[in-house]
Amino acid sequence: MKYLVTGGAGYIGSIVATMLLEAGHDVVVLDDCSTGAAERVPAGATLVRDTVQNAAAVLDSSFDGVLHFAGLIAAGESMEKPDIYWEANTAGTFALLAAMREADVKTLVFSSTAAVYGNPTEVPIREEAVKAPTSTYGATKLSSDMAIASEVTAYGLAAVSLRYFNVVGAYQDRTGIWHGENHEPETHIIPIAFDAASGRREKFAIFGEDYPTPDGTCVRDYIHVADLAEAHLLALDSAQTGEHRIYNLGNGTGFSNKQVVATVKRVTGVDFPVEFGPRRAGDPAELVASSERAKTDLGWKPSRDSLDRMVTDAWEYYQHARA
């Protein structure tokens, strides 16, 4: 098969592209490398450096499907610069759908997010939960999901939206190369903790220690990026014409910020300083996924589900990337 991977120079997209190549598929990556990096695109994939708004220049009837990762992901930034998020995420998805329609490409797997749920009323979170995003980022992803659903109804698209929880870890491909997370600036908890462990930051900050959780800090569901990537390949195989399937992807187990920091200290062997600050606006106390639908429909089950394994793999990549 031949697939277009938008955003394939990013963290998750590049790992999915790698697994597609390892499965014997042809891969074309569409990425302007504004937040991704060309060196992340796996050997064997063709890189087209352009925005997803120009997908029509790349897509033709030779493609069997699209995996759509392109977009902006920082929830905090989305509240300060909403216009660029609506343009990159929602308008970008509109342009991609139009290009797929024109090229008669009928299969889509979309990188969605748990941010569409906002502050959940029940945990674990199921796909039927109320969608009430608290950030512009979450709203742009939800609107993209809704646009995809309309496309499915009107034009018979076969689509799957995968709503990720907190993605961590790294993937070592068959040639021994590590692929992992390396944003600039970094906004995710585990790489930031690695910065503290390696001396790139003076200390690590935890926001809020008075939440209604066992240790007072926020609880999040972490999923290994390789388990997540494998779900995309299963989603491609499961996509059905005229159906928009939606799956939450997480471990179904929550880990607190204090647990994450303790694990990073144990894995790195560094007891770096930690300070506690006030809560951040909009941070829910607990976000944990129910992934039962994905397990039942896709036959998917995370196999790298221990926090130690996730942090260890992420640290392995971190050291390689900054050697």
Q: Summarize pLDDT for 56-71 with one digit per residue, the tens.
A: 999 999 999 999 999 9
Location of structure tokens 């600039």: 184
Q: Residue 145: give its domain's CATH number.
A: 3.40.50.720
Among 201, 233, 249, the domain boundary falls at 249
pLDDT digits (tens, 9 = 90+) for 5-52: 999 999 999 999 999 999 999 999 999 999 889 999 999 999 999 999
Q: Which residues contact 203 (CB under 8 A, 6 or more apart)?
A: 196, 272, 273, 274, 275
Chain segment 81-136, per-residue pLDDT in tens: 999 999 999 999 999 999 999 999 999 999 999 999 998 989 999 999 999 998 99
Strand-pair category, 254-256 with 178-179: unpaired
Q: Are 35 and 133 contained in the same domain?
A: yes
Q: Are residues 17 and 140 located together in one domain of the fold?
A: yes
Are 237 and 203 part of one and the same domain? no
Q: Domain ends where: 234, 249, 264?
A: 249
Q: Do 307 and 214 have their domain in common? A: yes
Share of the chain above pLDDT 70, in %: 99
Task: Verify that 54 and 99 share a domain, yes or no.
Answer: yes
* Residue % of the chain over a pLDDT of 90: 91
Please check whether residues 153 and 182 belong to one and the same domain.
no
* Predicted pLDDT at 74: 86
Does residue 267 register a pLDDT over 80? yes
Give the DSSP H/E element, type plus range, for residue 112.
strand 107-113
Looking at the structure, tell me whether residues 184 and 310 fall in a common domain. yes
Q: Give the number of other Cβ atoms within 10 Å of residue 109's Cβ.
A: 27
| 34 and 80 co-located in one domain | yes
Boundaries of domain holding 271: 171-220+253-321
Rounded Cα gap, residues 51 and 32, in angstroms = 5
Q: Which residues pair with 172 in a beta bridge?
A: 178
Residues 6 or more apart in contact with residue 254 via CB below 8 angstroms:
123, 219, 220, 221, 286, 287, 288
> Catalytic residue positions?
137
Quick one: average pLDDT of 203-220? Answer: 95
| Amino acid occupying residue 131 | K
Whether residues 59 and 208 share a domain: the answer is no
> Structurally, how many domains does the chain consist of?
2
Domain CATH code at residue 311: 3.90.25.10
- DSSP one-letter code for 90: I
Residues 153 and 74 in one domain: yes
Verify that 133 and 33 share a domain, yes or no: yes
Q: Are residues 126 and 215 in the same domain?
A: no
CA distances (Å), origin 46, targets 16, 39, 53, 57, 261? 14, 12, 18, 14, 38
* Nearest to 64, CA basis, from 24, 100, 102: 100
